[in-house]
Amino acid sequence: QSMLTQPPSVSGAPGQRVTISCTGTNSTFGAGFDVHWYQQIPGTAPKLLIYGNNNRPSGVPDRFSGSKSDTSASLAITGLQAEDEADYYCQSYDHRLSSWVFGGGTKLTVL
């Protein structure tokens, strides 16, 4: 069972904006720990998309942005493109569990 909660799927048309939510707890985001986001194209290794709540690694387009507030976080993708079709995972740290925790993943479909 995932400690972070994500919607199983989201979809959008090319050019649209979509958001993926990630709900944590008082022992993860609520305790001040950062949230990070990964993109995984099926059959390949995950790729870091957002780190430290809202920072993009070099090479990640600015169409991707992250935010965090209290016990919730979200990933926004603007100007949706076919290549964005993938699974997206949020990740944080749970100090009660003393463990990294992941969301269950959200499958993004570009219509």
What the block records as the tokens of 11 is: 């979809």
What the block records as the tokens of 26 is: 């008082």
Q: How far is the CB of 73 from other proteins (least distance, A)?
A: 13
Binds other proteins by CB under 8 A, chosen from 65, 84, 86, 103: 103
Q: Are 106 and 20 in contact (CB under 8 A)?
A: yes
Applying CB under 8 A, the span of 19-27, 41-49, 63-71, 76-84 interacting with other proteins comes to 41-49
51 contributes a contact to other proteins by CB under 8 A:
yes
Applying CB under 8 A, the span of 14-22, 33-41, 67-75, 76-84 interacting with other proteins comes to 33-41
Alpha-carbon dihedral sign for residues 64, 28, 105, 5: negative
Q: Are 53 and 70 in contact (CB under 8 A)?
A: no
By beta-carbon proximity to other proteins, the closer residue of 101 and 108 is 101
